[in-house]
Amino acid sequence: MSPRFVFLILLTALLALIPSRSPAPLVYTPGEGWSYESYGSIGKWRRERAKDQMEVAQQAFDQKDYSLALRCAAYVLKTWPLSDFAPDAQYLLARCHETQGNDERAFNEYQKMFTKYPKSTKLKDALHRQYQIGLRFLNGQRFKLWGYIPFLPSMEKTAGLFDKIVQSGPYSEVAPQAQLRIGAAHEKDKNYPEAVVAYERAADRYHDRPVIAADALYRAGMAYTKQATTAEYDQGTAGQAIATFNDLITLFPEDKRVPAARRIIASLKNEQARGNFKIAEFYAKQKKWNGALVYYNEVLLNGPTSPLAPTARERIDQIKQRLPPAVQ
């Protein structure tokens, strides 16, 4: 063995024995993902008991060190998933995500509490926070693609969030408003049939809460109205809108929206009269007098105050003069 080769071996061994700092290690934590920890910090935040670990997590959260708080909470859930401190760790984990602006992920972490920890004392707070997250998305906040890239707002997904809130606590404080917001999300998406379903469900389920029931009926009537006036006028849907507004007027006569409901009913009836008059004119041109009479009479029946009512009455008199007495 040559002296030069021996020297290289000794030099290599010497270098290996010299202490050196390595780059910050990449650490994976369930519930958080991958993160870097500075040299020498590994294990400093870990404790031997769930109680002590939660104290570290809460202290970090109070000091606005949300990354550390999240890491500690996730460690509690991983190490002591059945401990008395696990529900609080799950709640704190969701709070960290929410505070960091990861609303969709935070919502899902809050949701886990209802399946994993149904006896937690923080379920009420979790529902309220989920409701606030839902409102932010309803107001146009964007969902994130793959949890990181801001994408387009989605009213369909937003309606799904509010639906989960209602399912988790159907008779909670926020459930009635959440049910109404399902309808509002569908309305923003111009999905009026689904909006009506959501509003009618709110009116039915929370009929013993007058404020909610009245609001639901008015919103359902408005959704029917929008649906009726979209594209070609829909006589059947207009009739449903009128019926819904009449329910509001009958059940809640003191509601401040009753005058507006009456005006909308009058407008819808005038539009119905216009549609019936148009059909009657078509039959008259075809000299199908019986059909024309039916629809002219519909104008008088459903729209007696319509501007077309006097003309419809004249047309009826003219047709009756054409028909034999037995047919009239």
Q: How confident is the model at residue 318 (pLDDT cuts 50, 70, 90)?
A: confident
CA dihedral for 315, 317, 321, 325, sign (positive or negative): positive
pLDDT, one tens digit per residue, over 42-72 is: 458 899 999 999 999 999 999 999 999 999 9
Average pLDDT along the chain: 85
Residue 9's pLDDT is: 58
Q: By CB neighbour count within 10 A (0-12 exposed, 13-18 middle, 19+ buried), where does 290 fall?
A: exposed
CA-closest candidate to residue 202, choices 190, 225, 226, 186: 186
Residue 238 clears pLDDT 70, i.e. is over it: yes
- Based on the fold, state whether residues 175 and 200 are members of the same structural domain: no
CB of 261 within 8 A of CB of 291? no
Percent of the chain with pLDDT over 70: 84
- Based on the fold, state whether residues 38 and 66 are members of the same structural domain: yes
CA dihedral for 31, 37, 42, 43, sign (positive or negative): negative
- Asked if residue 9 is part of any domain, the answer here is no
- Asked if residue 35 is part of any domain, the answer here is yes
Residue 20's pLDDT is: 42
Higher pLDDT pick, 170 / 304: 170
- Asked if residue 3 is part of any domain, the answer here is no
Last residue of a domain, one of 56, 76, 100: 100
Residue 31 clears pLDDT 50, i.e. is over it: no
- Based on the fold, state whether residues 240 and 208 are members of the same structural domain: yes
- Based on the fold, state whether residues 124 and 184 are members of the same structural domain: yes
Least confident of 1-10, 107-116, 273-282: 1-10
Residue 43's pLDDT is: 58
Which structure tokens are listed for 224? 């029917």
- Based on the fold, state whether residues 105 and 136 are members of the same structural domain: yes
**What mean pLDDT do residues 90-94 have?**
97
- Asked if residue 8 is part of any domain, the answer here is no
**What mean pLDDT do residues 243-256 have?**
97
- Based on the fold, state whether residues 249 and 305 are members of the same structural domain: no
**What mean pLDDT do residues 141-150 have?**
78
Residue type at position 85: F
pLDDT, one tens digit per residue, over 217-231 is: 999 999 999 988 775
Higher pLDDT pick, 116 / 290: 116
- Asked if residue 269 is part of any domain, the answer here is no
Residue type at position 171: Y
Cα-flanking dihedrals φ and ψ of residue 165, to 5°? -60, -45
- Asked if residue 16 is part of any domain, the answer here is no
Whole-angstrom distance, CA of residue 154 vs CA of residue 171: 26
Q: How confident is the model at residue 319 (pLDDT cuts 50, 70, 90)?
A: confident
Least confident of 8-22, 47-61, 129-143, 157-171: 8-22
- Based on the fold, state whether residues 245 and 310 are members of the same structural domain: no
Domains contained in the chain, number: 4
- Asked if residue 1 is part of any domain, the answer here is no
- Based on the fold, state whether residues 122 and 179 are members of the same structural domain: yes
Residue 213 clears pLDDT 90, i.e. is over it: yes
Last residue of a domain, one of 100, 117, 151: 100
Residue type at position 46: R
pLDDT, one tens digit per residue, over 180-211 is: 999 999 999 999 999 999 999 999 999 999 99
pTM over 0.85: no
- Based on the fold, state whether residues 86 and 109 are members of the same structural domain: no
Last residue of a domain, one of 132, 155, 189: 189
Residue type at position 92: L
Question: What is the extent of the structural domain holding 139?
Answer: 101-189
Higher pLDDT pick, 42 / 309: 309
- Based on the fold, state whether residues 201 and 246 are members of the same structural domain: yes
Q: How confident is the model at residue 175 (pLDDT cuts 50, 70, 90)?
A: very high
- Based on the fold, state whether residues 33 and 106 are members of the same structural domain: no
- Based on the fold, state whether residues 94 and 73 are members of the same structural domain: yes
- Asked if residue 298 is part of any domain, the answer here is yes
Neighbouring-strand partners of residue 62 = none
